[in-house]
Amino acid sequence: MPKQTFFNLSEEKRQSLIAAAEKEFSRVPLVKASVSNIIKMAGIPRGSFYQYFENIEDLYHYLVDLETQKRKKLFINYLKKHNGDIISAATELYKNFLEEMPDENELNFFKFAMLNVTHRVETSLTNFLVDQMDRKQYDEIISLVDKDLLNITNDDEIFHCINIVTSVALRNFIEKFTKELSDEEAIKNFTVDMNLLKHGLYKSEGEHV
């Protein structure tokens, strides 16, 4: 997390720093991003940067978290809309993710986050729902999920389901970027995966040949 001094900054200065950082992280993946570039763009002295953040990763993860928050809210909305059907909600979120990307910069930001998934980003993205910090939202989701739909024997397995869906979704998303799939292809692949998850990779006893 950024230090308090960052939040004490004027809205204007803070936004200009964020803008500079987003630009840098859209230019290159985190590993190649440099503090020097960001402060040059933002026009602040080097010392100040370290007054606000531990280091460049601190800033990066702050930005990723901001984005993650947005998606989390969206997902909760979709879960309501689809009456607790997590796969329907995940599918709509995925489509929204793909279609709602107008800004070249923002796209690159996500692209690099995907291509260079460090652990903290990864958990932030795949655990974006199962996050102990946030008990309220956690409980909200539990209450929203339609358990009758799921093939589970206890509440604990709800989280297994959510984790499976999110890790497969993340994988699809990464693949879209690395294989440069069109949105149509990406959604087609995603749908196949989701159906396999829904009905099982294995035939049930009855239909077994």
Partner DNA sequence: TTGACAAATGACACATTGTCATCTAATATA
Partner DNA sequence: TATATTAGATGACAATGTGTCATTTGTCAA
Would you tell me which residues interact with DNA (CB under 7 A)? Answer: 4-5, 8-9, 33-37, 44-48, 50-52, 55-56
Output the smallest distance, CB 174 to a copy of itself, in A: 7
| 135 within 8 A of 122, measured Cβ to Cβ | no
Q: State the residue for tokens 């989280």.
A: 159
Cα–Cα nearest to 71, from 172, 197, 170, 171 = 170
The interface partner of residue 203, options being DNA, a copy of itself, none and the CB cut-off 5 to 8 Å by kind, is a copy of itself
- 100 backbone dihedrals φ, ψ, rounded to 5°: -90, 20
The interface partner of residue 130, options being DNA, a copy of itself, none and the CB cut-off 5 to 8 Å by kind, is none
The contact set with a copy of itself (CB under 8 A) reads 31, 86-87, 114-119, 122-123, 126, 148-152, 157, 160-161, 163-165, 167-168, 170-171, 174, 178, 189, 192-193, 196-204, 206-209
Indicate the helix (H) or strand (E) that contains 129: none
Q: Which is nearer to a copy of itself, 104 or 148 (CB)?
A: 148
Distance CA 84, CA 13 (A): 41
Q: Which is nearer to a copy of itself, 10 or 154 (CB)?
A: 154
Q: Which is nearer to DNA, 25 or 75 (CB)?
A: 25
The interface partner of residue 151, options being DNA, a copy of itself, none and the CB cut-off 5 to 8 Å by kind, is a copy of itself
Q: Roughly what angle, to the nearest 10 degrees, separates helices 119-126 and 156-178?
A: 120
Q: Which is nearer to DNA, 59 or 162 (CB)?
A: 59
Q: Which is nearer to DNA, 45 or 200 (CB)?
A: 45
What one-character DSSP code corresponds to residue 55?
Answer: S
Distance CA 81, CA 45 (A): 48
Output the smallest distance, CB 105 to DNA, in A: 19
Distance CA 86, CA 89 (A): 5
